[in-house]
Chain A
Amino acid sequence: GAGVSQTPSNKVTEKGKYVELRCDPISGHTALYWYRQSLGQGPEFLIYFQGTGAADDSGLPNDRFFAVRPEGSVSTLKIQRTERGDSAVYLCASSLHVQETQYFGPGTRLLVL
């Protein structure tokens, strides 16, 4: 079946603006993760959903970041009042269950000018 998909693939915005990044997990996968990857670094964990609820949001850097998964499938990562330091690749991953291997989407490349 189809893999994890993310839209948009690229997003350029201005400092202070609001952005939404979307993730479509693999069909049937109950666990969904968001990570952020800066150039030359490994991905950093942001938030994890089991079903509709955010089971662990300990990786969110501050309260400008928020994510939802209202129907237990598609998830949206929302960033308010963007800052230049938010520029990174935002990766989404899903797994069949929480103990299973995580499969990553292609990422959204966010550039804040």
Chain B
Amino acid sequence: GQNIDQPTEMTATEGAIVQINCTYQTSGFNGLFWYQQHAGEAPTFLSYNVLDGLEEKGRFSSFLSRSKGYSYLLLKELQMKDSASYLCAVSKGSARQLTFGSGTQLTVLP
């Protein structure tokens, strides 16, 4: 089996930086994805890590440590539109199906 844990809720202020952590336990690990999901909408791809280290993409960065089963998503210069659920997902197996955490609901306050 596999467990993916991430905080249920987080709150931050517009313009600030927030880090959303994700820990996982899995076999057959192929990579870790972060998706953003606004209420009532489809998950939208943000980032993918397969090797240890930091991947930067504009205001968003994602880090992976495979030995620790740990990842984080870093959001800089927060905007109101960043209020959403952030889903951590592990890819495993030959089918590369994703196993998702329950999501972290981020609220950005003015």
Contact = CB atoms under 8 A, between A and B. Distances in A.
Contacts, number: 60
B93 A56 contact: yes
Contact of A48 (B45, B48, B89, B95): B95
Interface in B37-76: 41-45, 48
A99 B50 CA distance: 11
B12 interface: no
Contacts of B93: 56
A15 B35 CA distance: 33
Contacts of A105: 42
A101 B98 contact: no
Interface residues of A, number: 26
Please report whether the interface of chain B is mostly helix, strand, loop or mixed according to DSSP: strand
Interface residue tally on B, bucketed by range: 20 to 34
A104 B4 CA distance: 20
Contact of A42 (B30, B41, B89): B89
A54 to B, nearest CB: 10
Q: Of A35, A59, A104, A106, which is in contact with the most chain B CB atoms at under 10 Å from its CB?
A: A104
A66 interface: no
Contact of B97 (A40, A41, A45, A91): A45
A42 B87 contact: yes
7 contacts: A40-B103, A41-B100, A42-B87, A42-B103, A45-B98, A48-B96, A95-B96
Interface of B: 4, 30, 33, 35, 41-45, 48, 87, 89, 93-103
